[in-house]
Structure formats: C-alpha cells, structure tokens
Structure 1
Amino acid sequence: MALGATVYKAQLSISDLDRGWYGQPVLTLARHPSETEERLMLRLLAWCMRAGEHLEFGRGLSSEGEPALWETDDTGAVIEWVELGAPDVRTVRKAAGKSEHVLVVAYDEARTRPWWESVKGELSRIDKLSVVFIPDDEAQALAAMCSRNMKLAVTIQDGIFWVSSDTENVQVNPESLKRETQRWT
C-alpha cells in the first residue's frame, strides 16, 4: 500500500515591502512521503517570494515536468515557473520556453555549489531566469518551524526574509546566483 501525502496548513501574514504586496493567504500544502520538512518549508518560502493571486503549488515530487510552483494568468499562460533544488539545464530551458519568468530556489550547499559551477555558463544565457541559494543553516531553521498547522508572519525587505511564529524567528538571506535582467532593472 502506498503512503499518502501529509497535509499541512499555513496561515500567513505577508508584508513584502520590496514589491508592495500584502496579504493573509491560507495555504494548503501536500507533503509527499519522500519530501522532507525542509523542502516543504522552502516551497512555502518560494511561495512568499512570488506571492500573488494566481500562484499555486504544483502536484509535487511525483509529477515530472511540473514545477514546484507556478502562476498562470486568466488565459492559462504561465507567468511564473518556480523550481526547487538543482534542476538540469533541459528542465530550466523547458520552463523558460513555457513561461515569462523562471525562478530556481537552490538549497543543500553540498549539492548546489557543484551543480551551479557545472551549469552557470549555460543558464547565464537565459534572460528570464533568476537563481537564489538558501544557506543550509537558514533552511534548517525554517524546517524547525514546520508543523501541520502553522501561523507565520513573513516580512520581506531588501531581499531579506523574516519569518516568525509564536515561538521562533528566522532570518533568511537568499544568495542571488543569477538575477533576471528584464524584470528587475
């Protein structure tokens, strides 16, 4: 018998001072049996990075060819494609061909550094791509905040994220490995 996904609820209060986006979304996240709490919390952080009315989670690790998150417009066109981890160049190119913007949220320093050194030349040619790295200690601190029912306040200013629960506060400083030139200039 296959194990089912574990459902997590996140009540967020987001103040994104960089983009002027404020909201109190309630999100439901399904954690695949092979997904760690660290990756789940990084998906949640990625949602906060690109928060918007039409941003939604993909079907997860069991669905190949689908992003961790994506945003579509009213016509069904993909505006934002978000990948987690260290995707191969083919996956990133496919994402760039299907969307207006692509974000890769890399984590796990032991895997990310060699991956980035091997792909940065090819990925640097994709203008609509941004790549950020979340340091291991910050990802682990986020994972420690994980619970089945979360109430989190997220403040974003100058690219720094402050995530707070009733008992903990975590500061996340994503390291920009590649910045999309068209969007942020």
Structure 2
Amino acid sequence: MALKATIYKVNLNIAEMDQHQYADYALTVALHPSETLERMMIRILAFARYAAEDLQFTQDLFESNEPALWQKDLTGQCLKWIEVGCPDEDKIKKASARCEQVAIICYGNAVETWYQKNSKLKSLRNVEIWQLASSTVAQLEALVQRSMQLQLNTLDGSCHLLSDDGEVEVHWTQLQ
C-alpha cells in the first residue's frame, strides 16, 4: 500500500515593505512521503518570493516534467517556472524555452558543484538562480506545524519569516 501525502494548511502574509506590496494567501501544501519538511518549507519560501494569485504548487515529485511551482496564464502558457533544489540542466533549458521566467531556489552542500557543472545555464537570459544559506535552511523545520500562520517581512533588503513558534532570517544569494 502506497503512502499518501500529508496535507499542511498555511496562511501566508507577505509584507514587502521595500516595494510596498502586501498580500495574504491561504495555501494547501502536500508533503510527499519522500519529501523532507525542509524541502516543503523551501517550496513555501519560493511561493512567498514569487507570490501571485495564480502561482500554483505542482506535483513535481510525482511528475518529473513539472517544477515545484508554476504560474500559467488563462491560455495555459507558462509564465513562471520555479524549481527547488539542484535540477537537471536539460529540464531547465526546456523550461527556459517555454516560459517567460525560470527561477531556481538552490540549497544544500552541493550547490556550488552543481552550478559549476551546469555552466550552460549562465547563457539562459530568463533564468535566475538563488541559493538559500545553510543557516536559513537549518532553522526552517522549527516553524512547521500542520496548520501554520506565517509572515514574510522584507525591509531594506532584509527578509524574515515569522510564525508563533519563532523567526528565521532568510539569507538569499543570487548566483545568476
């Protein structure tokens, strides 16, 4: 018998004070049995970074040709393709040809090696790559609950993810 996904409910409040953008999102996030809580929280951070009403979580662990999140227009055309982790270079090249914007949120010890190995990504103009600091990733799991109230505040370039259980300063480094 196959294990089923665990469902998490997230009320996400985003306050991007540098650009005067404020929004609330009620998210339902499925944690795949093979996924870690850390990766799920990074998917939520990726949503927060690129938040839009029509941005959706996908079945990326079930469907290898889907990203972690995507945003499509009313015709089904992909506007944003957002990956979490260190994806295959060919998958990113295909996504770059099909979508207006591709973003990769990398984390872990192998990011530098992955980025050097996939040097062709540097020639793709619509691809941006962000690395989450190890200190940020290590603290994310402490915020997890089945029902979460999260707030992402950004002021003067400093980003903080808050919940009733604590606060994590989010450190992003843009690689591309």
Kindly state the Cα deviation for residue 167 of structure 1 after the two structures are TM-superposed: 2.8
TM alignment of 1:54-69, pairs within 5 A? 54-69=54-69
- Residue 155 (1) aligns with residue 153 (2): yes
- Provide the residue aligned with 1:113 in structure 2: 112
Kindly state the Cα deviation for residue 89 of structure 1 after the two structures are TM-superposed: 1.1
Evaluate the alpha carbon distance shift between residue 99 and residue 60 of structure 1 in structure 2; reply closer, same or farther with a 3 A threshold: same
- Residue 139 (1) aligns with residue 137 (2): yes
CA distance in structure 1 between the partners assigned to 2:16 and 2:168 by the alignment? 16
Code of the residue aligned with 1:78 in structure 2: it is C
Contact 1:54 1:72 in 2 (8 A): yes
Q: What's the CA shift string for 1:31-63, capped at 9, x where partnerless?
A: 000000000000000000000011000113111
TM alignment of 1:94-113, pairs within 5 A? 94-108=94-108, 110-113=109-112
| Secondary structure class of the residue paired with 1:103 | strand
Structure 1: unaligned runs, 5 residues or longer: 179-185
Code of the residue aligned with 2:113 in structure 1: it is P
Structure 2: unaligned runs, 5 residues or longer: none
Kindly state the Cα deviation for residue 158 of structure 1 after the two structures are TM-superposed: 4.6
CA distance in structure 2 between the partners assigned to 1:26 and 1:167 by the alignment? 19
CA distance in structure 1 between the partners assigned to 2:131 and 2:57 by the alignment? 20
CA distance in structure 1 between the partners assigned to 2:155 and 2:122 by the alignment? 26
CA distance in structure 1 between the partners assigned to 2:70 and 2:64 by the alignment? 14
Kindly state the Cα deviation for residue 156 of structure 1 after the two structures are TM-superposed: 2.2
Contact 1:11 1:151 in 2 (8 A): yes
- Provide the residue aligned with 2:93 in structure 1: 93
Contact 1:153 1:163 in 2 (8 A): yes
Contact 2:142 2:165 in 1 (8 A): no
CA distance in structure 2 between the partners assigned to 1:8 and 1:19 by the alignment? 29
- Provide the residue aligned with 1:45 in structure 2: 45
Kindly state the Cα deviation for residue 171 of structure 1 after the two structures are TM-superposed: 0.5
- Provide the residue aligned with 1:82 in structure 2: 82
Q: What's the CA shift string for 1:98-131, capped at 9, x where partnerless?
A: 11000000001x2112111111x31110000100
